[in-house]
Structure 1
C-alpha cells in the first residue's frame, strides 16, 4: 500500500492574529521542533529549512507578541541553544487543540474530499 493511500485529509489552519502576525503550521512545527531539539539551527535542519528563514519566523513571532516565544543563549557549537518560553509552549498547545477540534468538526467534509481523490485514482 502506498503512502498516499494511507494519508487522511487534515485541516492545518493559518490564523491571522493581527495586521502583521499570523500563526500556521510552519511556525508551529518550527516551535515544536525547537522544543524537541533545543536549537533553532537543529530545528531548521530537521525541517529542511534554511537557518535564516527559521530565525526570521521566530523573530516575527517575537515581535508580534508581548513576550518572546523562545529563550536563546548564544554559544555556537560549544554551547548556546534555545527553549520554548511559557508563551511558546502555550501557542503550540493552543494551536494543537484548535487543529484537533477543527479536524473533528470537519470529518464529513474531509471524507467527501477524500472520496473525490479516490475517484481520480480509479480512472
Structure 2
C-alpha cells in the first residue's frame, strides 16, 4: 500500500521591531517565559540556552524599549533576591504567542495552497515569501508597486498600486524617496499602525452607485466588512476584510463601535492619512 506523501511545512520566526531595533523575537520570548518559570536570570539563561551576559543584555534592551518594564529584579532579603516577570511582561509574552499562532496558521494555508497547485508560479511564491519576511511593529502591511511620485524638493506624494483597482497614498520626504530609490515600478510595502486607522460609516452617496466611504477628502479610504472585534473596557481592535485577501486593522474607542453600530459582517471604511504611511523597500 502506497504511503501518501505529505507536503513540506513552512515555518517562520516572528520578530517584533521598533525604530530603535529588534525588540522581541523567539529567543527573547523563551527567555521571558523561563524567567517567569524559574525566577532567576541564571537558570533562565541555562534553560534557553544562552549565556548569562546575553540574557542580561536582552533583558536590559527589552526594558529600555518597552513602555513599562517587562522584568524586575531584587537583591538580598530573606529570600535572597531574584528576578520576576511583571504583569506587563506576561501580557507582552501572551500577545506575542497569539500573533505567532496566527502567523503560523497563515503559513500553513500558504503551504496547502501551493501543495495542491501543480502549476504553482514559483517566482511569485518567492516574491510572496520576501514580502512576508518584512518585520515591523505596524499591524497593517500592504504590498504594492509604486505607480507615481509627485512633489517638490522637500515633500513628496507616492502612489502605491496594491492591484489594478486599488491605490494607496503615502506622504514622505524627498530625502526618503531618494534613499529608498523609489521610482515607478519599485516594489514596496506600506506600513500603517493600527491606532492611525480610523473607522467611518460606509455610505451610498448617490442612489444606484457603488458604495463609497466618507470622508471623501481622505485619499486612503478602504471599504470592507467587519471580520473580527477584540473588545476591552476602553478601546477595541477592529479588523475589516477588504477583499482580495487584504485586511485593515484599527484600534478605536469603544464609543466608535456603538456610534457606527459595528458588529461582525457590518460594512465600514478604514481611513488613514498619507502621513501615517511608512514605506519599506524589498531588497
TM-score normalised to structure 1 length: 0.75
Correspondence list, 1:51-90, <5 A? 51-75=52-76, 79-90=80-91
CA contact (8 A) 1:34 1:84 kept: yes
- Is residue 94 from structure 1 mapped to residue 95 from structure 2 by the alignment? yes
Please state how far the C-alpha of 1:110 moved relative to its aligned partner: 4.1
- Structure 2: 5+ residue stretches without partners: 1-8, 116-283
What SS does the aligned partner of 1:106 have? helix
Q: How does 1:10-25 map to 2 (within 5 A)?
A: 10-25=11-26
- Partner of 2:33 in structure 1? 32
- Gaps of at least 5 residues in structure 1 are 1-7, 114-123
- Name the residue aligned to 1:46: 47
Q: CA deviation at 1:86?
A: 1.4
Q: TM-score, normalised by structure 2?
A: 0.34
Aligned residues: 105
User: How far does residue 48 in structure 1 lie from its aligned partner after superposition?
Assistant: 2.2
**Distance in 2 separating the partners of 1:10 and 1:35:** 26
Aligned-residue offset at 1:45:
1.1
Contact 2:10 2:108 in 1 (8 A): no
Which is higher, the Rg of structure 1 or of structure 2? 2
Q: Deviations over 1:8-64 (max 9, x none)?
A: 653220111232342110110100110011111100011221111000000001111
Of Structure 1 and Structure 2, the greater strand share is in 2
Asked whether the equivalents of residues 31 and 48 of structure 2 are also in contact (C-alpha less than 8 Å), the reply is yes
> For residues 16 and 65 of structure 1, what CA distance do their matches in structure 2 show?
11
Q: Per the alignment, in what secondary structure is the counterpart of residue 22 of structure 1?
A: strand
- Supply the RMSD in Å over aligned alpha carbons: 2.2
Normalized per residue, which structure has more helix? Answer: 1
